[in-house]
Amino acid sequence: MSAKAEVLVLGAGIAGCALAHHLVLRNGGPVVVYDPRTPSAGATGRAAGIVTEQLWNRWDVEVTRESKEQYAALADRGDPSAYTVNGFVRWAHQPDAIASLEASIRRLRNWGVQIEELDPVRLAERVPWGRFDEGVRSVFSPTDSIVDPSALNDLFTASARRGGAEFVTGVPMRSLRWSSGAWEAMAGSQPLRGRRLVVAAGAWSKRILEGIDHPLPLAPYRTHAALLRPPSGVASFPSVHDIETDVYARPESNGRVLAGDGTQLVEVDPETVPSGADPTFVSDLAATIEVRFPGWANAELLRAWTGVCTATPDRRPLVGPVPGSDALLVLSGFNGFGVMRAGGVARRLAEWMTSGGGRETERLEPVLPRRFPQGAPPFRPRPGFTVDDGIAPRF
């Protein structure tokens, strides 16, 4: 049988499923979501799940704030454990990092982000297992949260299904082409047709777009995370980020801790990246924890893994119509912050798709793909929890 739709979404991660949810809420016509694997099988299922407004530009702050509101409402209705307000604290010791953090604090306050500066005593109270110099500078955002990305994705999927969206998953895509006024994807032996196609396939988006002769500047890259169990167990604490080492940590259930980053700043092929973590990541993380988090130095390593995220040259995602094809759209390139942005970005894209422009175009302007010329040169991924303007290298 053939599945026909107004919109065919490629990718059942949190971005694609959130878009389906918002499209059916806005009566955007029949929607089909396709994924050769299962929902959350890609980056969504490996994401850290930290949602913070401590970001580098007003657009990202506003979009993440919209996502937080959506996630809280979805969790309240369907799964309260999927969303927890625990706050987010980051700090710096070195003069150059402190200067950047101070500039970030000024920007965040101008954008209406609720933050508190913590002196060393109050920082140690928030993070009692950490080690801090007397000159440490830190900032805390009490309304930030952690989420269970897979659980949220399940909630978006269930909502979209109730609204009539069809999901086709677990079968390989054999071909994708424009045919007779619609996009047609062959999912196994089943043709899926949509008048408009949205590529929301995460690290596979680059390959898909190149395959249909609409390349965009995207670069998949590898990142790492690990699940730890400290000897004493930790019931609850704010998510934390050490700016100089770029290591983050957040609480997990049963006294466990999820920690990363381990980002490798080179492009990779998502088809060949192993799912396990590099030994160097584990040893580097252990060394950092021993110095920065001595209270966790004897933590048990439960497991470590790799995820593949997707970068863009300016660290903003690519969202909206692809130049050269009115029926082709993209929702990708989140630079490791897909969970933070997915709900807000998906709603903005759904509003644009169902209204046709005006204010909705303005709300997407910073991330429209047309900002890059055709044939943009290759670039090196530069993601991370930066406190700069979004394009500066990490410390």
Residue 200 covered by a domain: yes
pLDDT for the residue numbered 42: 81
CA distance 163 to 20: 9
pLDDT for position 388: 62
Task: Please indicate, yes or no, if residue 55 is contained in any of the structural domains.
Answer: no
Q: How many structural domains is the chain composed of?
A: 1
- Numbers of helices and strands, H then E, in the chain: 9, 20
Residues in the chain: 395
Write down the H helix ranges in the chain. 14-25, 58-78, 95-110, 120-126, 149-162, 205-211, 279-292, 338-355, 359-364
Report the pLDDT value the prediction gives residue 1, as an integer from 0 to 100: 44
Separation of alpha carbons 19 and 24, rounded Å: 9
Provide DSSP, 75-92. HHHH-GGGEEE--EEEEE
- Closest CA relative to residue 367, chosen from 55, 59, 12: 59
Helix, strand, coil percentages, rounded to 5, for the chain: 35, 30, 35
Asked if residue 10 belongs to a domain, the reply is yes
DSSP codes of every residue in 114-160: --EEE-HHHHHHHSTT----TT-EEEEETT-EEE-HHHHHHHHHHHH
**Does residue 197 lie in a domain region?**
yes
Indicate whether 17 belongs to any domain: yes
Asked if 188 and 232 touch (Cβ cutoff 8 Å), the reply is: no
Q: Give the amino acid at 76.
A: D
pLDDT at 4: 76
Residues in CB range of 328: below 8 A, 6 or more apart:
183, 196, 197, 199, 212, 214, 321, 322
**156-83-130 Cα angle (round to 5):** 140
Assess contact for 328 and 196: CB atoms under 8 A: yes
Q: What are the two backbone dihedrals, phi and then psi, of residue 158, each rounded to the nearest 5 degrees?
A: -60, -40
CATH number at residue 361: 3.50.50.60
Specify whether the CB–CB gap between 88 and 144 falls below 8 A: yes
Is residue 116 within 8 A of residue 139, CB to CB? The reply is yes
| Structural domain boundaries enclosing 204 | 3-46+149-217+313-371
pLDDT at 394: 34
In a domain, 37, yes or no: yes
Q: Is residue 231 part of a domain?
A: no
pLDDT at 389: 54
- pLDDT per residue, tens digit, the chain (395 aa), is 456 789 999 999 999 999 999 999 999 889 999 999 988 788 888 889 999 999 988 999 999 999 999 999 999 999 999 999 999 999 999 999 999 999 999 999 999 999 999 999 999 999 998 999 889 999 999 999 999 999 999 999 999 999 999 999 999 999 999 999 999 999 999 999 999 999 999 999 999 999 999 999 999 999 999 999 998 767 689 999 999 888 999 999 888 999 998 788 899 999 999 888 888 999 999 999 999 999 898 999 999 999 999 999 998 999 999 998 989 999 999 999 999 999 999 999 999 999 876 778 889 999 999 999 888 888 988 876 666 654 433 32
Residue 191 domain-assigned?
yes
Can you give the pLDDT at residue 393?
35
Find all residues with CB under 8 Å of 49, minimum gap 6, and list them: 146, 147, 148, 149, 250, 258, 339
**Contact 249/257 with Cβ under 8 angstroms?**
yes
Query: What's CA 198's distance to the chain center, in Å?
Result: 17
Nearest Cα to Cα of residue 60 among 247, 395, 335, 246: 335
Residue type, 189: S
